Structure 1
């Protein structure tokens, strides 16, 4: 591994862990460090930054907790930058819900804003093959409504439809933001329990058709209907809880 690039700067012993993390984050932000890249060895980082290897080790451990790096063992192991910290972001948001910082109504409102944008982008930028894939997931999800007794398995297909919708909008930031929101939605549905869902499948089929027709305004109206139905269900669950 070539570590001939500009060395890391020395840090002060006080709050050294935070300073190490900041330097690494700054280099990720500037694209000097990229996803999948291996960080320099603890020994080299410690020498460059003027701290102990234990201090470097603690900083790397904190970066692992935050979802920025993965630690691998073995001769070819070390600290590697993750492709995405979506999983950590998702967990942080769910922790916030558990602390009553968010509620499901807020979740639905934000998802409606993001997916309205996703639908418009998909109408304009999704390929025909991608729209066909979206349609196939919608059909599979509808079939599972009557053939799959495990509600959690049916939820996988529900979430996959919205995940693909975000992907086919061809906006990477949208994908990253959508993933934790879908995980939050899944947790909400698991908590509230199964409900009659054929209306969802009918709306979804209409939505796919409008995307196939490349009609963003019509697609956005159908999406709004879908989230209105979800909002009504949320109100009913809250009323009887």
Structure 2
């Protein structure tokens, strides 16, 4: 069997780093005493979610920075700003000093400060706002970089497709357990509407809308847990796969909408075990489909 790097190359995707080919072991099933223990254990309610940053709440910070003397000065700036956040001198909604002032405090050029701020923005630490109320504002956090990192690891061979799927199965089992405990009728209605739109898109063969609906479905399921960490992790495991499916095309022999309708019925019944079995069957089928399609495109 060809390894993921060769399979990706055959699919005309960017060439990943060389790594060992995936083993032929089966993915571990979800079930047994360990899973039952997870399903039945008590779980406290999740804390309230943090709200968005309001412009009226922004205030310029009084964090103290020291001059930079290293060759890669922008990295040291990032480190200092992160340390100020850890120490509590900076918090979500605080505006950093102006670019010119930061350059003076760090004893570096404004270009170096801009590079540091862009790096922090990519990492989800700050948001760069424009206009009269612009500047670098500390965020509550951004999960997007986590999904990008997971996608890079999968593409470059740092994580095998097999290990990725196995971890996704474990994550989904816990998300389903929590959703069965906490989901409301509004959550069920949102999932039902998503499935109905998915069936319509399946007929129109629109790949972009299909991808968007797939990401939305898993986002809605994760939101039903009322756990922001679960939502972040779900995004990290959903978006990379959506990219690959968009590249090679969906499995036309598999009625995804029908599978999700069965899943939702189990979820409404608060039957975590049955819902998990339906989801695991879907994920294992998807895994086999991805491998077979990449193998079919591999050179002889």
TM-score tier (shorter):
0.7 to 0.9
Q: Secondary structure at the match of 1:240?
A: helix
User: 13-22 or 110-119: which moved more?
Assistant: 13-22
Q: Is the Cα contact below 8 Å between 2:191 and 2:221 reproduced in 1?
A: yes
Task: Give me the CA root mean square deviation.
Answer: 2.6
- From 158, 166, 177, the counterpart of 1:101: 158
**Which residues of 2 match residues 74-223 of structure 1 at below 5 A?**
74-146=131-203, 148-196=204-252, 198-223=254-279
Distance in 2 separating the partners of 1:212 and 1:30: 44
Q: CA deviation at 1:94?
A: 2.6
Offset from partner CA, 1:180-208 (integer Å, 9 cap, x none): 32221111101221322543222211111
Offset from partner CA, 1:192-235 (integer Å, 9 cap, x none): 21322543222211111111111212211221111122122123
Q: 1:61 to 1:234 in 2, by over 3 A?
A: closer
Tell me the TM-score normalised to structure 1 length. Answer: 0.85
Q: Is the Cα contact below 8 Å between 2:60 and 2:94 reproduced in 1?
A: no
Alignment match, 2:130:
73
Q: Is the Cα contact below 8 Å between 2:61 and 2:89 reproduced in 1?
A: no
What are structure 2's unaligned runs of at least 5 residues? 1-57
More helix by share: 1
Alignment match, 2:10:
none
Alignment match, 2:102:
45
What are structure 1's unaligned runs of at least 5 residues? none
Q: Is the Cα contact below 8 Å between 2:59 and 2:93 reproduced in 1?
A: no
User: How many residues of Structure 1 are paired with residues of Structure 2 in the alignment?
Assistant: 239
Q: CA deviation at 1:52?
A: 5.2
Alignment match, 1:10:
66
Q: Secondary structure at the match of 2:95?
A: coil
Displaced runs of 4+ in structure 1, greater than 6 A?
none
Distance in 2 separating the partners of 1:170 and 1:90: 20
Q: Is the Cα contact below 8 Å between 1:20 and 1:59 reproduced in 2?
A: yes
Distance in 1 separating the partners of 2:154 and 2:284: 22
- With a CA cutoff of 8 Å and minimum separation of 6, indicate the structure with the bigger relative contact order: 2
Q: 1:235 to 1:168 in 2, by over 3 A?
A: same
